[in-house]
């Protein structure tokens, strides 16, 4: 069986050796030594101003909305995982969708500006499949209209734009360290900001609002990463460059084998980007063609994923308007298997099946 992804797991003995530091102290949660080590190693490796490790990748979005005191309408993308929009609704704000660019699959700054009104307080934009949004244009809109920017960078670990970590953009960036991601802690995530005062606010929000053991800054929630999660991150992180190199090789092999087919569209990666090869998405000519390919792959025990389907504006509780490009892309896009242990022979086999069906 070949799934769309597979978690990278080093030798279990490596994980156990790191976890023993926590185990011996019987300190397994509440910001122990391993969590702090992981934060420092990520901060140093990617030249990041601030990082707060969290127990998953969804809570950071909710905490960012809370910490920025956002109300009213937040403009966001219809082409993302459900968490991006559900967090807005969960925090009693109104998600307003702006359509995406047909080539990058990211939210279109022109469509963002068309949606801005006196109720707009922020933009939450996703770096889709790790591909940076048009950060410069979004920053200009934020300044022009005095609104905040949160980046959902769930897929973008290790990505740089203009020689800076992708996490250094916007008021807040968030990431997922879920087991399906390039870098993972089993389940986990993080908050990033360059604003030290805002970082303090994010920090207390993620820890019940504590100001020491007996006092509280304000409202908070429990989003702390455990030592078990941090141990996994510390085990995986030393392999990160090796993981990226392997994924790039497989990504480029897919592209070379499929690029001549005129029925297929590939994602355009933003200029000035060092990419992380998080996914290999294909857009087919029609939804019927997608189903034909998907069924043929499934018959061969190969399981790609329809990322992202459906377009979020079509989900009833989000009450979105028509988004022509997002709805069209979401019906025709399929992410092919891509992970460290995938072999070149398997990539060739997958592409042969794809080409035979189109």
Residues 6+ positions from 246 with CB-CB distance below 8 Å: 340
pLDDT on residue 15 = 98
Q: How many residues does the chain have?
A: 358
Facing residues of 53 across strands? Answer: 190
What is the 8-class DSSP label of residue 86? H
What is the 8-class DSSP label of residue 270? P
* Same domain, yes or no: 17 and 164: yes
* Domain of residue 89, residue span: 2-238
Domain boundary among 200, 217, 238: 238
β-strands 280-283, 333-336 pairing: antiparallel
121 with 107: CB under 8 angstroms?
no
> Phi and psi (nearest 5°) for 215?
-130, 165
| In the chain, beta strands by DSSP E | 2-3, 51-54, 73-76, 94-97, 120-126, 148-152, 160-161, 164-165, 172-176, 189-192, 265-266, 273-274, 280-283, 302-303, 333-336
* Same domain, yes or no: 88 and 128: yes
Q: How far apart are CA 282 and CA 3, in angstroms?
A: 16
**CATH code for position 173:** 3.40.640.10
pTM score > 0.75 for this model? yes
* Same domain, yes or no: 141 and 16: yes
Q: State pLDDT tens for residues 115-132.
A: 999 999 999 999 999 999
37 with 234: CB under 8 angstroms?
yes
pLDDT > 90? residue 212: no
* Same domain, yes or no: 26 and 72: yes
277 with 251: CB under 8 angstroms?
yes
Residues 6+ positions from 165 with CB-CB distance below 8 Å: 46, 47, 48, 159, 192
* Same domain, yes or no: 202 and 281: no
- Mean pLDDT, range 175-185, rounded to an integer: 97
- Mean pLDDT, range 274-295, rounded to an integer: 98
pLDDT > 90? residue 72: yes
* Same domain, yes or no: 166 and 69: yes
Q: How far apart are CA 235 and CA 358, in angstroms?
A: 42
* Same domain, yes or no: 40 and 167: yes
- Mean pLDDT, range 218-239, rounded to an integer: 97
For the chain, what is the domain count? 2
* Same domain, yes or no: 265 and 129: no
pLDDT on residue 214 = 86
β-strands 148-152, 273-274 pairing: unpaired
Confidence of residue 302 (pLDDT cuts 50, 70, 90): very high
β-strands 73-76, 94-97 pairing: parallel
Closest CA to 146 of 123, 174, 169: 123
Q: State pLDDT tens for residues 6-24.
A: 999 999 999 999 999 999 9
* Same domain, yes or no: 59 and 69: yes
Q: State pLDDT tens for residues 78-126.
A: 999 999 999 999 999 999 999 999 999 999 999 999 999 999 999 999 9
* Same domain, yes or no: 77 and 11: yes
DSSP string computed for 188-257: -EEEE-S-HHHHHHHHHHTBTTBSSSS-BSS---B-BPPHHHHHHHHHHGGGHHHHHHHHHHHHHHHHHH
| Percent of the chain predicted with pLDDT > 90 | 98
* Same domain, yes or no: 36 and 169: yes
Domain boundary among 220, 238, 256: 238
* Same domain, yes or no: 46 and 163: yes
């Amino acid at each position: 069986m070949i799934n769309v992804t597979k978690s990278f797991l080093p030798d279990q003995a490596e994980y156990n050796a790191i976890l023993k530091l926590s185990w011996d102290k019987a300190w397994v949660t509440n910001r122990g030594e391993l969590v702090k080590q992981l934060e420092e190693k990520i901060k140093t490796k990617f030249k990041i101003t601030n990082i707060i490790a969290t127990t998953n990748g969804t809570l950071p979005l909710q905490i960012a909305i809370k910490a920025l005191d956002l109300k009213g309408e937040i403009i966001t993308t219809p082409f993302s995982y459900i968490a991006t929009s559900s967090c807005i609704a969960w925090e009693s704000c109104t998600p307003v969708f702006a359509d995406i660019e047909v080539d990058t699959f990211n939210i279109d700054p022109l469509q963002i500006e068309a949606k801005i009104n006196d109720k707009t307080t922020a933009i939450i934009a996703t770096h889709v499949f790790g591909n940076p949004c048009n950060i410069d244009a979004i920053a200009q809109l934020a300044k022009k209209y005095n609104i905040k920017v949160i980046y959902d960078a769930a897929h973008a670990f290790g990505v740089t734009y203009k020689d800076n970590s992708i996490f250094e953009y916007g008021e807040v960036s968030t990431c997922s360290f879920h087991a399906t991601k390039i870098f993972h802690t089993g389940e986990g995530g993080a908050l990033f900001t360059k604003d030290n005062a805002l970082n303090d606010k994010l920090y207390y929000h993620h820890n019940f609002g504590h100001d020491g053991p007996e006092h509280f800054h304000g409202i908070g929630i429990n989003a702390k990463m455990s030592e078990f999660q941090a141990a996994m991150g510390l085990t995986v992180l030393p392999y990160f460059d090796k993981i990226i190199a392997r994924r790039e090789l497989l990504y480029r092999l897919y592209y070379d084998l499929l690029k001549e087919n005129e029925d297929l569209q590939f994602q355009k990666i933003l200029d000035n980007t060092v990419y992380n090869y998080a996914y290999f998405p294909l857009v087919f000519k029609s939804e019927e063609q997608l189903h034909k390919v998907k069924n043929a792959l499934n018959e061969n025990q190969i399981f790609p994923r329809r990322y992202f389907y459906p377009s979020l504006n079509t989900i009833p509780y989000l009450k979105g308007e028509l988004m022509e490009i997002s709805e069209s892309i979401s019906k025709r896009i399929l992410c092919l298997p891509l992970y460290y242990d995938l072999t070149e022979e398997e990539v060739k086999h997958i592409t042969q099946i794809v080409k035979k069906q189109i």
